[in-house]
A and B are shown apart, each in its own frame.
Chain A
Amino acid sequence: DTEVTQTPKHLVMGMTNKKSLKCEQHMGHRAMYWYKQKAKKPPELMFVYSYEKLSINESVPSRFSPECPNSSLLNLHLHALQPEDSALYLCASSMQGNSGNTIYFGEGSWLTVV
């Protein structure tokens, strides 16, 4: 069982809505990630937080706004999304940002924008 918990599992939102995806881990990991995955494609990195500070933003549109309230929590705030933003959003964590660490993924949040 994954130790990275994501909520909600499914979310349907209109293009004018504001919603949030939440992620939680209690493994003591200090790096947390958001990935976006379209059908039959590999995950694409969106954001990385290291020690609660944003380390990487892969040129993600501002309608996606990440937040790391503490070392165990990671949120992704969504506003004014487009239908093409519909995808599986995966949260992940690793001990640190060192590439030698295994990254653990959550189950994902299925987002549908209508």
Chain B
Amino acid sequence: KNQVEQSPQSLIILEGKNCTLQCNYTVSPFSNLRWYKQDTGRGPVSLTIMTFSENTKSNGRYTATLDADTKQSSLHITASQLSDSASYICVVSSPSGTYKYIFGTGTRLKVLA
């Protein structure tokens, strides 16, 4: 069964600190993996997209990594800001699942001043 699991479920850090969110998936075959940021009550916004051949991709203070062999991805946030408080969702798609994107359960990040 195609699944995407994220850890931790929730995380609290102090402003300025770094953190890493994890995403493990069993989706096969694999097409690409995306990280989305979702502020409370708003739609998800794409942060990064990575294909099978990509290991690292950055978007400002956000850096995503992908290990297609172990089927793991991480999202590293550097020098966190209060505005980083949100849910981060890992989404995996498969070429055999046209239109279907498999969503992880998300990590809720809270950044405190």
Contact = CB atoms under 8 A, between A and B. Distances in A.
Nearest to B48: A102
A99 B43 contact: no
A4 interface: yes
B31 A42 contact: no
Given A4-B43, A102-B34, A42 B89 contact: yes
Contacts of A106: 43
Interface string A64-82: 0000000000000000000
A98 B31 CA distance: 10
Contacts of B106: 40, 42
B93 interface: yes
B97 interface: yes
Contacts of B46: 102-104
B22 to A, nearest CB: 16
Interface in A24-67: 31, 33, 40-45, 48, 50, 55-56
